[in-house]
Amino acid sequence: MLPTTLGPWLDYTINGLVIGNIYALLAVGLALIFGVSHLINFAHGSVYMVGAYIGWLCVTKLNLPLPVTFVTVAAGCGLLGAVIERVGLRPLRNAPRIAPLLATIGLSVVLDQSAQLLFSPDPRALPTQLPTWRVAIGGGSIGALDLLIAGVGIGSAALLYGFLRFTKLGWAVRATALDRDAAQQCGVDVDKVNRTVFAIASALGGVSGLLVGMYYNTIDPNMGFQAGLKGIVAQLIGGVGNVPGAIAGSLLLGLIESYGIALFGTSYRNLFAFVALILILVLRPNGLFARARRLPPEPLTGTFIAPSRPLVLPKGAVWALAAAALALPLVVQQPYLLQTLGNAWLYALLALSLTLVAGTVGQVSLGHAGLLAIGAYASSLLALDAGVPVLLAVPLAGLVAAALGTALVYPAFRLRGHYVSIATLAVGEIVTLVILNWESLTRGPIGVTGIPPLSVAGKPLVSGQWVYWVPLAVLLAFAALQSRLLNSHLGRTLRAIREDDVAARSYGVDLNRYKGLAFAVAGFIAGVGGALMAHFYSYINHETFPAPVSMLALTMVILGGLGNVAGAVLGAAVLVGLPELFRAAAEYRMLIYGVVLLLLIRFRPQGLLGTV
């Protein structure tokens, strides 16, 4: 409902500036890290979450005064940031730039899941320890916590300015940000600079997590993901690596969100942030406050494909394995085992889709679960609302996912480097938020219930054998088609784009056209996979395909080998099937995924079966 007086609008303005100050602490840290490392740190949101939990322990368990709590949070998160830089990222400093970016994703998963196992997934209240008075200003009001957040934001900016401007280490940071190699030749210890910057950025992130916990009076282990994305959005609005721009972008983002809530409601809050991100990436990828246009960043794609000789199975062995897999239900009569493997084959379809765009074309997609969601909802709604037979609704859903997925990602085709990954992540989040808010079509947060099962001649295919056979048959068909595609002229052209898009364009390759074809094929495969999931699950909502599913798919692809069709299937079987079979480790599943991703990036980037 639209506020009609000045008072509510003033409250929304104050709230937007307060939230913008918190975003600024995150965005400034991200800008510092990017300045010296040219890295988008996806683990920053997890450090923010750790800061909130350190603050909770200090306030509720140790009963420390608030100033001591702030110092403890800053010190603890600063130490964590230094450890992340030294242990998780420094060994990858000579690796292609996509490797440390993926490593930060793995670190984020490990930190989030460790907190969930240690503290439980349940939210916890974080008292403010501040007086509850509020002062009326022009029809609005401002409280002690609002003033504290503003003071911390302004004070942190002043301290950071003094550090960078007047200290030798600050000069070293600025020199490294301008030209790392030249700074190193002049005697600057760039490792010390990196460690210092990660410590400062993490301290700021931890303090912002504490402030958010106090502001909303609640914290939980999953609070870091969205916050980290907001920090990235704010940084991109202001200009990547631009500290003053990050502050301005954060305040602008806070106001956009606050006014958006006033106009449309709370459920639209995150949608505004990600739509703003896509608009900035498409219209002004260097940010609103960039002083000059930078050179295009080095691609984060083809250079990550580790040179290796892929393991090529003889055709006879492939046919034998396929036949054995199809015959398994005739030998094994355990419904749970068959259902588990059937679920693994469904996720293998997602991995097959991602390995085409990330491994073959080199467009690392971090929002691929959005294609699953589009396919699942399209098939469900076609079957329920339009009365389309399920067997027809499934391929139609694949076409819908191919068309919508390609259209949504198409603006990102002109981007390079880390911008591609961020854009696809934003697209995946936008899909989820549109599903949540478009209640007249998607049923909103209630979800879609009573989804009809797959059936042939009126006979439902819901038994353990059919839950296994149907996904496996679809998977084998798509795997065969994709293998043929990769061995064709089209496949060679896609790999040429991955290896060197500039050279491919100089030979007359239309990059957007071929990227669009790859995303359309990948979208169709993922859409069919999502449709099958919906009809097997019988219920879906906006949380059925969250962002961690995209990270899981990426881990599958890297585990098996980027661009490797058999590797995608193997990765899904290992990461989805095995944890389900060993139920004792089920609660550690996501933690295992994060650790596996880190180990693969560090020690075997070419995957188990090699890259193609």
Over the stretch 23-33, which tens digit does the pLDDT of each residue have? 888 888 888 88
pLDDT in tens, 573-591: 888 876 665 555 667 777 8
- Give the number of other CB atoms < 10 A from CB of residue 437: 16
Residue 303 falls inside a structural domain: no
Residue 502 falls inside a structural domain: yes
Mean pLDDT of the region 228-241: 84
**Does residue 414 sit in the same domain as residue 509?**
yes
138-142, 202-206, 258-262: segment of lowest average pLDDT: 138-142
- Say what the pLDDT of residue 502 is: 82
Mean pLDDT of the region 145-173: 87
Residue 288 falls inside a structural domain: no
- Say what the pLDDT of residue 584 is: 58
- Say what the pLDDT of residue 2 is: 46
Mean pLDDT of the region 497-526: 87
Mean pLDDT of the region 176-191: 84
Total count of domains within the chain: 2
- Say what the pLDDT of residue 186 is: 85
**Does residue 64 sit in the same domain as residue 126?**
yes
Domain assignment of residue 356, given as a range:
310-603
Residue 295 falls inside a structural domain: no
**Does residue 274 sit in the same domain as residue 144?**
yes
Mean pLDDT of the region 196-207: 92
Determine the straight-line distance between the first and last CA of the chain, rounded to whole angstroms: 54
**Does residue 225 sit in the same domain as residue 369?**
no
Judged against a pLDDT cut of 70, whether residue 302 lies above it is answered with no
pLDDT in tens, 264-297: 877 777 888 888 888 888 788 777 776 555 544 4
**Does residue 123 sit in the same domain as residue 64?**
yes
Predicted structure pTM score: 0.85
Q: In which band, very low, low, confident or very high, does the pLDDT at 371 lie, cut at 50, 70 and 90?
A: very high
Cβ(524)–Cβ(398) below 8 Å: yes
Mean pLDDT of the region 207-219: 90
- Say what the pLDDT of residue 376 is: 94
Do strands 140-143 and 455-456 pair parallel, antiparallel, or not at all (unpaired)?
unpaired
Share of the chain above pLDDT 70, in %: 93
**Does residue 389 sit in the same domain as residue 507?**
yes
**Does residue 226 sit in the same domain as residue 321?**
no
pLDDT in tens, 387-424: 899 999 999 999 999 999 898 888 878 777 677 888 88
Residue 296 falls inside a structural domain: no
- Say what the pLDDT of residue 205 is: 92
**Does residue 263 sit in the same domain as residue 333?**
no
Residues 189 and 172: their CA atoms lie apart, in Å, by 8
**Does residue 130 sit in the same domain as residue 274?**
yes
Share of the chain above pLDDT 90, in %: 21
**φ, ψ dihedrals at 143, nearest 5°:** -115, 180
Mean pLDDT of the region 556-574: 86
Mean pLDDT of the region 155-166: 88
Judged against a pLDDT cut of 70, whether residue 504 lies above it is answered with yes
Q: What is the CATH number of the domain that holds 18?
A: 1.10.3470
Indicate the residue among 268, 283, 298 that finishes a domain.
Answer: 283
Residue 127 falls inside a structural domain: yes
Residue 302 falls inside a structural domain: no
Mean pLDDT of the region 35-49: 87
Residues 107 and 202: their CA atoms lie apart, in Å, by 14
**Does residue 278 sit in the same domain as residue 331?**
no
Closest CA to 522 of 576, 481, 551: 481
Judged against a pLDDT cut of 90, whether residue 532 lies above it is answered with yes
Tell me the Cα Rg of the chain. 25
Residue 598 falls inside a structural domain: yes
Closest CA to 85 of 233, 196, 243, 182: 196
**Does residue 324 sit in the same domain as residue 447?**
yes
- Say what the pLDDT of residue 111 is: 92
Q: Is 456 helix (H, G, I), strand (E, B) or coil?
A: strand
**Does residue 192 sit in the same domain as residue 97?**
yes
Residues 178 and 159: their CA atoms lie apart, in Å, by 21
Mean pLDDT of the region 108-115: 90
Under 8 Å CB-to-CB from 533, ≥6 apart: which residues?
346, 372, 376, 540, 544
